[in-house]
Amino acid sequence: MARCFVGVMLPEDLKDDVIKIQQLVPHLPIDCKLVERENLHICLSFLGEVEDDKLDVLYKNLDRVCSKSGSLSVNVSGIKLIPSEKYVRVIVLDCFSKELENLGKDIEKELGGDAKPPHITLCRVKNIMDKNQTIEKIKGIKVDVGEFEISSVQVIKSHLEKTGPIYTVLYERKLL
């Protein structure tokens, strides 16, 4: 059994830009866990526990879905609170691409899982000491990472450790 999701691991140059924004978060009046540099990604569909003998079928289904899609341009700009300002659990960067959003929906439809609008998680919030000040400061963070190309999609295994998850790419499908 493997805890898996379908997503896009970020290229190194984009990680540099995301880390610069992420470094602003510890200055907020919150207690949070930052996503490690090597784990920065866009999740297209969280699959949960997948039996090892089902992985080959999963890869074939992903191939079929992705065969309809070429490389995608994604614009990373804006910061968002999930699920809402009233109850902040995660701070993310918005990823704007109708094509990527549609690909996520197609993956969810054909492979299962849970697709959300594309985003890059900066941190998971444990506690907010001053919610109003935090939200005000977050809204003041200017984010415009810009565009980047997605040329492949990965099936990623998430192994949970006490220090956090360890991600391993199990399968990669190029977008033609």
pLDDT tens for 142-164 read 887 889 999 999 999 999 898 88
Q: Is the pLDDT of residue 139 over 90?
A: no
**Averaged over 80-109, what is the pLDDT?**
92
Q: How far apart are CA 169 and CA 165, in angstroms?
A: 13
Domains and CATH numbers, the chain: 2-174 (3.90.1140.10)
Question: According to the model, what pLDDT value does residue 74 have?
Answer: 95
Residue of 6, 2, 4, 3 whose CA lies nearest to 107: 6
**Averaged over 17-22, what is the pLDDT?**
93
Question: According to the model, what pLDDT value does residue 162 have?
Answer: 87
Predicted confidence band of residue 16 (pLDDT cuts 50, 70, 90): very high
Q: What is the pLDDT of residues 100-129, one digit of tens each?
A: 999 999 999 999 998 888 999 999 999 999
Q: Is the pLDDT of residue 91 over 90?
A: yes
Catalytic residues: 41, 119
**Averaged over 64-89, what is the pLDDT?**
92
Query: Residue 91 burial (CB < 10 Å; 0-12/13-18/19+)?
Result: buried
- Residue 92 near residue 118 (C-beta atoms within 8 A): no
pTM value is 0.91
